[in-house]
């Protein structure tokens, strides 16, 4: 995928889709923080893995806890955290959606992040309910899930018609309406919905890298399409930002 450098201190180039997601989330959190008049806030990244997003939030000065069942991911997170001098603001805890509240406590965090993880939990509704319990009133939730329709399109465009047929009923992917309903039923109010990776996932990385400026143009295109209901419904990822 093409690379876009948008933050002032990037540690490694990110894909166009990841760059857009981080930029959007940063803006949403900044607006929310201003509206709440908070000097600082606590973030929990459920399924945060090796902590790429967690580290950028810690570098922005926030207190971040990554909860993840993978000891390997947590070891990598710990090493990277130490290398960047973030140990006082970023911690990793072994756990999962099932024991989130037990680990952190009720109303223990201001911002809950759950990116690309709802598709691997045992029970999505129970996981969202645990997140709602862990988030303080007035706090926010950021969810990223893979979309079923995008998988159908992607498989078909690669000529994998059988896989496209199977993807129509893939239970590990989501439809936007379905995931939004579940988030609402858990007790959150949806503030913003956007599609991440509407077209960038269909454009070969080599093509983007072959011409200077194409990655930036693709970023602009993704940015324009991300909130159009028709385009966002077929994006690789749905990003939902909600309040508690
Ligand atoms: C695809 S990775 C996503 C990592 C990161 N959030 C991102 O967006 O790049 C999924 C993560 O979920 C974690 N995971 C697996 N089962 C989980 C569960 N039941 N509860 C919470 N996290 C889980 C995995 O260890 C892994 O780090």
Q: How does pLDDT run along the chain (244 residues), one tens digit per residue?
A: 445 544 433 334 478 999 999 999 999 999 999 999 999 999 999 999 999 999 999 999 999 999 999 999 999 999 999 999 999 999 999 999 999 999 999 999 999 999 999 999 999 999 999 999 999 999 999 999 999 999 999 999 999 999 999 999 998 899 999 999 999 999 999 999 999 999 998 888 888 888 889 999 999 999 999 999 999 999 999 999 999 9
Nearest in space to 242 (alpha carbons), one of 169, 155, 139, 94? 139
87: in domain = yes
What span, in angstroms and rounded, lies between the C-alpha atoms of 126 and 128? Answer: 5
Whole-model pTM? 0.92
Decide whether any atom of ligand 1 lies within 6 Å of the 120 Cβ. yes
Decide whether any atom of ligand 1 lies within 6 Å of the 68 Cβ. yes
Nearest in space to 143 (alpha carbons), one of 100, 120, 114? 114
The Å distance, Cα 200 to ligand 1 centre, comes to 23
Q: What is the number of domains present in the chain?
A: 1
21: in domain = yes
Decide whether any atom of ligand 1 lies within 6 Å of the 51 Cβ. no
138: in domain = yes
149: in domain = no
What span, in angstroms and rounded, lies between the C-alpha atoms of 94 and 72? Answer: 10
105: in domain = yes
Q: 51 is written with which tokens?
A: 């902590």
82: in domain = yes
CATH code of 188's domain: 3.40.50.150
46: in domain = yes
152: in domain = no
Residue 182 structural domain: 3-144+172-243
């Amino acid at each position: 995928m093409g690379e876009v450098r948008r933050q002032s201190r990037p540690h490694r180039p990110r894909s166009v889709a990841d760059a857009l997601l981080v930029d959007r989330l940063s803006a949403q959190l900044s607006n929310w923080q201003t509206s709440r008049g908070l000097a600082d806030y606590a973030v929990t990244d459920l399924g945060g893995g090796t902590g790429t997003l967690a580290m950028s939030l810690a570098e922005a000065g926030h207190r971040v806890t990554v909860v993840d069942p993978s000891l390997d991911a947590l070891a990598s997170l710990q090493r990277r955290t130490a290398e960047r001098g973030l140990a006082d603001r970023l911690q990793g805890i072994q756990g999962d959606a099932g024991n989130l509240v037990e680990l952190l406590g009720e109303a223990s965090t201001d911002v809950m992040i759950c990116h690309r993880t709802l598709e691997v939990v045992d029970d999505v509704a129970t996981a969202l309910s645990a997140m709602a319990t862990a988030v303080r009133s007035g706090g926010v939730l950021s969810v990223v899930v893979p979309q079923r329709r995008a998988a159908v399109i992607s498989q078909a465009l690669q000529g994998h018609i059988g896989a496209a047929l199977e993807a129509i009923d893939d239970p590990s992917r989501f439809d936007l309406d379905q995931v939004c309903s579940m988030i609402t039923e858990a007790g959150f109010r949806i503030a913003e919905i956007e599609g991440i990776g509407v077209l960038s996932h269909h454009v070969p990385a080599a093509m983007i890298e072959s011409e200077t400026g194409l990655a930036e143009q693709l970023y602009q295109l993704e940015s324009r399409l991300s909130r159009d209901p028709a385009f966002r419904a077929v994006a690789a990822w749905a990003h939902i930002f909600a309040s508690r």
